[in-house]
Every structure is written in C-alpha cells, then in structure tokens.
Amino acid sequence: MANRKHSKIDALPDELRLAVEDMLMTGSTYNDIVKFLKENEQSVSIAAVCRYARAFNANLEQLRMANENFRNMMDEINRYPDLDTTEAIIRIASGNMFNRLANAKEEDWDNFKLDKLLKETNGLIRATAYKKRIDLQNKEIKDAAIDEMKGLMFQEMAKDNPQLYKTVVEYLNSKKNKE
C-alpha cells in the first residue's frame, strides 16, 4: 500500500500480513488480530494494529473511490459508444464539481476558496476546448487525406474502370458524411 509508514505488521511474512489484512476486512477486532499474531509467534501491540488498520483502511477507501470513478467512466462510455475516455472524464469531473456546488450549504460558501474554484473550473474549460480543437484537427486531417487519396489514386481508376471508380467514391463520401 502506498503512502503508509512501515510498521511491525509491514515487516511480517507475507502470509501473516495478508491474514491480518483479511481479518481487518472481515471485521475482526484488534484483540483478535493481536491474539492471532501471538499464536504465530509475533508480538504486536493493539496500538500498532490500530495504526496499521487506520492506514490500511484509508488506502482501501482510496482504491474503492478509484474503482467507483472508473466504473462511472465505463458506464458513461457504455452509454455513449462514440464517446472517448477524455470526454467521459471531463463529463464526470464536471458532474462532480456541479454536484458539490449544488449541494453546498449556505455556511459552506464561506469556506470556499473562490480563486481555487475558478482555477479548477478554468482548467476544465481549457481541457474541453483543447479536446474539441484536437478532434476538429483530426477530422480535417482525415478529410484532407481522403480528398488527396481520391485525387491521386482515382485519376487512374477513372480511366481504367469507371464503374469501380464511381462505386468507391460513393462509398467514401457516405463514410465522410456520416462523421
């Protein structure tokens, strides 16, 4: 687990440390964990178990939050198949920011750091604008490539096989117009 100080429990053999973590996740008491470790010839205090549990549970909560955010992003992508991950992240971040603002109580507004809020909002707007600009540039590049390909390759195809030329041009134009 990251950001955790090394404790006596961190120094235990892996199978014992994992057993302690399992016991923490299943609701065992600190006394039960100390007793279990004593039965396995390890001397650890209740305070050490408590400190380890606090750090372990904090890391576990961070993992749960990361999984929930990932699940939200995947739900958004599944709901809108043409949506890319950047757009999904922007939507989730915007939604979370809006919910926090909408649910803020009157007294919470005194604690808001307006400059930080504006900075974060501005960052979100810049990210959205950057993504839209890149999407537009990519579309323009793709359109130019299609036009260039038609210009170079189809000159010869039009001479050699006019029916094939007409079919291919119609197909490419239909794909270009769908996007």
Task: Check pLDDT > 90 for residue 128.
Answer: no
Tokens of 175: 């794909």
Task: Check pLDDT > 70 for residue 30.
Answer: yes
From the DSSP assignment, how many helices (H) and strands (E) are in the chain? 6, 0
Which pLDDT score, from 0 to 100, does residue 5 have? Answer: 61
Tokens of 125: 């707007």
**CA 131 – CA 144 distance, rounded (Å):** 20
Mean pLDDT of 39-65: 89
Considering only 3-17, 66-80, 105-119, 133-147, which range has the smallest mean pLDDT? Answer: 105-119
**CA 4 – CA 63 distance, rounded (Å):** 14
Tokens of 160: 């050699």
Q: How many residues does the chain have?
A: 179
* Residue 1: pLDDT band with limits 50, 70, 90: very low
Tokens of 92: 């989730």
Mean pLDDT of 96-122: 75
The percent of residues above 90 in pLDDT, for the chain, comes to 15
Helix boundaries (H) for the chain? 14-25, 30-39, 46-79, 85-102, 114-160, 162-178
Does residue 123 or residue 109 have the better pLDDT?
A: 123
